[in-house]
Structure 1
Amino acid sequence: MTIQHDVFISYSTANQDIADKIHFTLEKNGLSCWIATKDIPSGRLYIDEIGAGIKSAKMVVLIYSKFSQESKYVKNEIHMAYKYDKPIISFNIDGSEPSEHMGYYLKVMQWLAAYPNPEDYLEKLVRDAREICDEKNDVPVVVDFTNFEKTDFSRHKHDWISLALLCLPVYWASFIYMGITANKKKWVFMGLLYLIPTLVLLILYFQIADYLFIYYPMFILFAVIFVLIWILAIIHGLVIRNEFLTLKAILRFSSMDEELFNYLFEGYINAK
């Protein structure tokens, strides 16, 4: 059975931070909200849950930005909201003008210019949402982020294997491991590239092992190069590890539903 909500929040996950703050503020002021990261149960089909969430909500708050106007998932949500005749408040956070496609659905909807600092316009958003939902509007609006927690997929998933491998001479294996686990071929390719200095050093050692005292300076030079590449790989690995943890957490959350995974991760890709 679908739970009734006052507000369906439509947004690109590139704008996850402000979406979390809007969700937190609306709920703190008595408006129940549907938001994908909290209201799609694990193992459920993305498209079914989105459709049910929009249909059961009294209205839609669209967080409009350069990312949301390019998101096919946001476009689908607004199309469904239009189909179900749901009031839409477009909360414009960066001054982006609606594209031709979005403009068709939003031209008769309510626009709220909320830039350059969207948090300054949350009180106005609450009052407008209350009015649409026929809630009491004489109650003071509370905009207070005490106990607020933003959505961070990476904190929900720890992986010490990738970190341990980076700190060992087989550091290249960390990239291959992260690439295979997160289905990122580019990371696997990086791991293979980082493997080359290790192979060169091993081949060099076994080739000159009996004459190491003669070729000692050459061996030391290659050893120094190896260590420098290792340090570079550690820095590189730590940079991509946060994305890896995010991917791994979302993969677990979405229970391998490809559409749900793309929906949740789309914004992170676009934001880079």
Structure 2
Amino acid sequence: MGSKPSTPRPKKETFDSKNPVKPQTKRTKDVKSENTFAPHEVPDDVDKPDLNRQDSVSNRDLMISYSHQDKEIMAKLRESLEKNGISVWVDVVGLTAGVDFLSKIGEAILDAKLFVSLLSTSTVKSKYCQDEVALAYISQKAIFPVAIQSQEEIYAIMDTGMKLQLASLEWTFLNPDNFDEGFNDLLSKLKAELEFQAKEAELGNQVKERLKHRQRNFQRQKSDLLDPHLSEHPDVYWDKFYKNRESVEFNQFAEDFQKYYKDDLNKMYPLDDQTWLINNLIEEVIMSIESESKHITKKSLEDFCTVDGELQVLWQRVTSYAQDMYAMKDVFAMESTVRVDAIENLGKYQSVSVIESLRDLLRNENANTRAVAAVSLAKTGNQDKSTINVLLKCLNDKDRLVREAGCLALGHMKAKRAVPRLLHLWRNDFISHVREAAQAALIQIGGDQVDKAMHITKVLAEEIRLLTEEN
């Protein structure tokens, strides 16, 4: 992960191998977030949720995320939707204070077909609303931004991640003084998406086809708006700077990229985030190169820009990569309000982008984030070479929590390639919790190599103990 200025590290959470991440059971007032990716400034007067919530989550068409300061127009929107046959989950009635309402919100997002973000200046200040949009984004929900204030007012204070996740989507505007006009526009969009999903379900290829459909729509909507240099494919960009060259050193690539897209980067990203984004982009590009070379090739850049077999515009691919990374940070960071539910439900929304982003999080400078990413990667079930490689690197991490998480992840995945490293940790790590995690992982992996090595080690340890006692 690209380096960023150091920040105070939070107190580490106790790591339980049976339950690596402790769920939050109480939603409290936000504090300023330690954020190694893109710092939000969370105001002291952020939203507090109502404790009364709608209990039934399943079989709902739509979930509404909103600021409780906008509850009156939310109630009107909900009532109008349900009158038109769209079932809605929203956090206002039915639950008692003892219910884990954070989990209910995550469950509602994952189970609903559609996600509406009711946008106002209050919404974009709320860490909870930011996290809910991010979870909807990485779980590949059909997101409908519905603004009750002007886009200019909202954008002025919207954090970079939320802006990226919502910028490419078509917004609907609800004017409280002319509610019906905006509502009818929204209703037609929601019904069209529900019909589209129903057809996809019949074909049995729901997620993949919907994503391709949206990507094509995005390309059509944006292609006429882009400046010429933003519409360049990677081969055009490469020939402009490095024609007749097979490779370029990655620092040179970073410098050229930042100069060429300077104005566009400045419009969207704070300066520190630009450094973070470009460093991670380069790491992602060179991951496809088998050697340890720190050079970028034309082919590796084209591979990065190829999605579902189609070569994308370079700037568009970088933007979608940034969207994924910001969303993953918001969902999986230690201060995230939806982190636990996201980890527990990774199987519901596995995607290439989620897996790639989790691998990127293993390079984050915050140890807690690296540990969470390791556990989350194991839960995806993905066992390709790149995933195993980045988890093996966790076993060399300077932080014991990350080493422990890496052991447990590799054991869960039954990664036989990890056996030599796990045996080394089991025998030599100076932290007992790491040795225990390595042993648990070895037992999970099993096999003749493990049995033989563990037997020999135990025999030697017993002989050493006896010799010590004799002396």
Structure 1-normalised TM-score?
A: 0.47
- The one of the two structures with greater contact order (alpha-carbon pairs below 8 A, sep at least 6) is 1
Structure 2-normalised TM-score?
A: 0.28
